[in-house]
Amino acid sequence: MNYFPEIKELPPDPLFGLKARYTKDSRSDKVDLGIGAYRDNNGKPWILPAVKLAEKKLINDDSYNHEYLPIEGYKDFVVNAGKIIIGEESVAIKEDRIVSQQSLSGTGALHLVGKFLKDFYHNKTAKIYLSKPTWANHNQIFTSLGFEVDNYPYWDNDNKSLDLQGFLKAIEDAPQGSIFLLHACAHNPTGLDPTEDQWLQILNKLSEKDHLPLFDSAYQGFASGNLEKDSFSIRTAVDKKIFKAPILICQSFAKNCGMYGERVGAVHVIPSETNEKLNNAIASQLKKIIRSEISNPPAYGAKIVATILNDKELFNQWQEDLTTMSSRINKMRLKLRELLINLQTPGTWDHIVNQTGMFSFTGLNPDMVKRLEEKHGIYMVGSGRASVAGLNDGNVEKVANAFDEVVRFYAKSKL
Ligand code: LMR
């Protein structure tokens, strides 16, 4: 008797499956450009100096313990996380319009928001629009919650730039009151962000159609090294009061604090008008979801991030760490482009330096990516996304030579 008659085995997760293949590979010069996790110039995971200092301070504090957190999370963390993302001086804070809930990093935040919208958003048939392409997990988070998912054009492959007209048209064509998921900065996988002027056009158009903006902020400070600059899209939407609809933010500290496995994140819901009763209702419903799914959020990572956000010296150290990470990545972008140009690799490579954040959408096709893995031991996502953080002075030449080889190999096979 089969008690699970419908069950089928699924292929491995595109990102974690790639990681497993990389780990199994015994070649000593293999290169991991897969999962977006920062590596130092020796290819090693990096604990941020600010995090190391915060950990020490935290465990030496007499009041440190492993008690349960309240369901809404660690107060010092959630309140300060809200200030970091919308700015301490934000009009939404002054007007008491921000409801915050700690989450299991970005994925947990998206799942929580998705469940909340499914239960309470007035437009019961609203589709959720994701950028094309987007982070692989977005699609399954929302489809698993029963949402109908659609796409908006984002990446113009011919010009390796933003398809702004396509994006605006999709906003125009979507039924009033749809949900649009926006990458706040360092778009994953393309590394391509709208300019400030393009953001204004996008946000205004979304508001004209009364769409609901859902920001996914996984890379604040990681893209440019500057927390304010990397939250331009969110702060503009909030401060300019562009929306009648509430603004929803999913915030992760996985990348910008290097707290990948500790799952530190938050959800912020910002209604357009002050309404204490509504705030309390939103907070209570978010808590109910959290209680039924994870009981209460994990404490350790949240306490570390709160320690950094609350201590001027540690906060300054964090800013330095953000600059260390973003500038090393930028140096690798420049180096990779320079090497490809010197090799006269067919194609143009300026997009590598014009893109920002953890990733480059290299333009390599799935066949080339497969050959990179099999012949050269270089691992990246089939879409051609490379985690630039995996490059370092010791492997960038190997990677450039391998890119050159696979591009020429497939150029020749086309002739
Ligand atoms: C990535 O896109 O590589 C990261 O965000 C890791 C993940 O969880 O998928």
Residue 155 DSSP class: E
Q: What is the pLDDT of residues 331-376, one digit of tens each?
A: 999 999 999 999 999 999 999 999 999 999 999 999 999 999 999 9
Phi then psi dihedrals of residue 126, to 5 deg: -60, 135
Q: What is the pLDDT of residues 85-123, one digit of tens each?
A: 999 999 999 999 999 999 999 999 999 999 999 999 999
pLDDT at 414 (0 to 100): 62
Q: What is the pLDDT of residues 40-63, one digit of tens each?
A: 999 999 999 999 999 999 999 999
Q: What is the pLDDT of residues 279-289, one digit of tens each?
A: 999 999 999 99
**What number is the average pLDDT over the span 376-392?**
96
Question: Quick one: what percent of the chain has pLDDT higher than 90?
Answer: 96
The model carries a pTM of 0.96
Tokens of 232: 């331009």
Query: Domains (ranges, CATH) in the chain?
Result: 14-46+327-406 (3.90.1150.10), 68-310 (3.40.640.10)
Residue 282 DSSP class: H
**What number is the average pLDDT over the span 155-162?**
91
Q: For the chain, what is the mean pLDDT?
A: 96
* Ligand 1 pocket mutation, candidates 19, 137, 383, criterion most atoms within 8 A of CB: 137
Ligand 1 touching residue 137 (CB < 6 A) = yes
CB neighbour burial string for 183-205, b if at least 16 within 10 angstroms, e if fewer: bbbbbbbbbbbbeeeebbebbbb
> At residue 415, does pLDDT exceed 60?
no
**What number is the average pLDDT over the span 221-240?**
95
> At residue 190, does pLDDT exceed 70?
yes
Tell me the DSSP string of 172-185: HHS-TT-EEEEE-S
- Measured by CA distance, the residue closest to atom 2 of ligand 1 is 36
List residues with catalytic annotation: 135, 216, 255
Distance 332 CA to ligand 1 centre (A): 20
Distance 44 CA to ligand 1 centre (A): 17
pLDDT at 319 (0 to 100): 96
> At residue 33, does pLDDT exceed 60?
yes
Q: Can you name the residues that pair with 34 across neighbouring β-strands?
A: none
